[in-house]
Amino acid sequence: MADAAVDGTRRVLVAADKFKGSLTAVEVAERVAAGLRRVVPDLGVEALPVADGGDGTVAAAVAAGFERREVRVAGPLGDEVTAAFALRGDTAVVEMAEASGLQRLPAGVLAPLTASTYGSGELLRAALDAGARTIVFGVGGSATTDGGAGMLSALGARFLNASGEPVAPGGGGLADLATADLSGLDARLSGVELVLASDVDNPLTGPKGAPAVYGPQKGASPQDVETLDAALAHFAKVLEDVVGGKAAEYAASPGAGAAGGIGYGALLLGARFRPGIEVMLDVLGFAPALERADLVITGEGSLDEQTLHGKAPAGVAAAARAAGKEVVAVCGRLALAPETLGRAGIRRAYPLTDVEPDVAKCIAEAGPILERVAERIARDFLG
């Protein structure tokens, strides 16, 4: 997605995440490039759409040259869906939201107690079938709070109630767990480097755990949150009989609570936790692209406090600042003060609302408005 720079012109790297609900990361890059070139026609622009491990991660990998592979898997409620992962050589990028994300639920339906990550396990298995030796497992945007039990089941684990029957799908079903058997897990997992890529570092349970912090976003009532927290704590307790003290150690580890606790399941599989944006920048080839750039443009739909905690723009800005490159950001909405942006390595942010104060219009017409924002950046930094 790079264009050769003309001698004497500056080269710009556009490394932005999606504007959720308006533009994909690829579309953001295209619109920014179009606006910049309207002011500087011969500008060298390189686009490297980025993601932090959540939804959009596979699309970012495909834009960077990975092959898109599609497979039929179980959605969060058990209905079959077509999900994708990305493959280049023996490295796969698997996005749990492709199989078990909120976007896979029927419109208006939330299932906090019963949604399952089984399809995410099927996606991992498909990556193994494709010959992957390194799997980047991007987690976020989940519809689920099952501690990864569904995923582990798809990979050969068995979770049984007191009658010897499989427990019901979802986090709620784990309350009935009597025994766990991990002996049937896919043997190929032991020969694979599994990287848990997430932008959150919550533990599995407790006040900062998956049910308490993220359950309400998935439709969990206060009672559901209590039920899920107790069920996941019970899940970890039962697993102590199988894996010993590591079960409790993993439950308290950063990232265990990611995507409804699927991080915990991944840690049980031997995954190494890394901040999602760091992993994705490595996988996407950000360092060499950064070397070629004079100016970096990053961004996402909303630049706010959450951005500073492991989101894509913060990761891009940190890496660019370390390399001595100037960074500006585009966004739909800006909720950070200039000095806060400066501390994060962002020289200036350009929200769509500066061009069009009507937020509804910004969402509906994000593409053309973003082009106008990019024209402003070109005049301010490339004139």
Asked if residue 116 and residue 245 are part of one domain, the reply reads yes
End residue of a domain, out of 224, 250, 277: 277
In this structure, the answer to whether residues 95 and 238 fall within a common structural domain is yes
- The CATH number that applies at residue 144 is 3.90.1510.10
Q: What would the pLDDT profile of 73-131 be if each residue is shown by its tens digit?
A: 999 999 999 999 999 999 999 999 999 999 999 998 999 999 999 999 999 999 999 99
User: Domain range spanning residue 193?
Assistant: 57-277
Under the banding of pLDDT at 50, 70 and 90, the label for residue 5 is very low
Residues paired with residue 309 on neighbouring β-strands, in sequence order: none
Task: Please identify, among 277, 294, 311, the residue that sits at the C-terminal boundary of a domain.
Answer: 277
Q: List the Cα angle 305/285/53 in 5-degree steps.
A: 40
Same domain (yes/no): 110, 193: yes
Q: State the pLDDT confidence band at 4, using cuts at 50, 70 and 90.
A: very low
Q: How far is CA 85 from the centre of its chain?
A: 13
Pairing of strands 326-334, 348-351: parallel
Our count of domains for the chain comes to 2
Question: Which residues fall within 8 angstroms of residue 229, CB to CB, at 6 or more apart?
Answer: 205, 206, 209, 211, 212
Q: Which residue has the higher pLDDT, 53 or 171?
A: 171
Are residues 189 and 327 both part of a single domain? no
The H or E element spanning position 301 is strand 295-303
Model pLDDT for residues 219-275, shown as the tens digit of each residue: 999 999 999 999 999 999 999 999 999 999 999 999 999 999 999 999 999 999 999
- Given 251, 277, 303, the domain boundary residue is 277
Question: Which residues does 26 contact at the CB level (< 8 Å), separation at least 6?
Answer: 47, 49, 59, 63
**By three-state DSSP, how is residue 257 classified?**
coil
- Inside any domain, residue 3: no
Do residues 43 and 95 share a domain? no
193 sits in which H/E element: strand 193-198
Q: Are residues 166 and 220 in the same domain?
A: yes
Q: Are residues 61 and 140 in the same domain?
A: yes
If asked whether residues 220 and 120 sit together in one domain, one would say yes
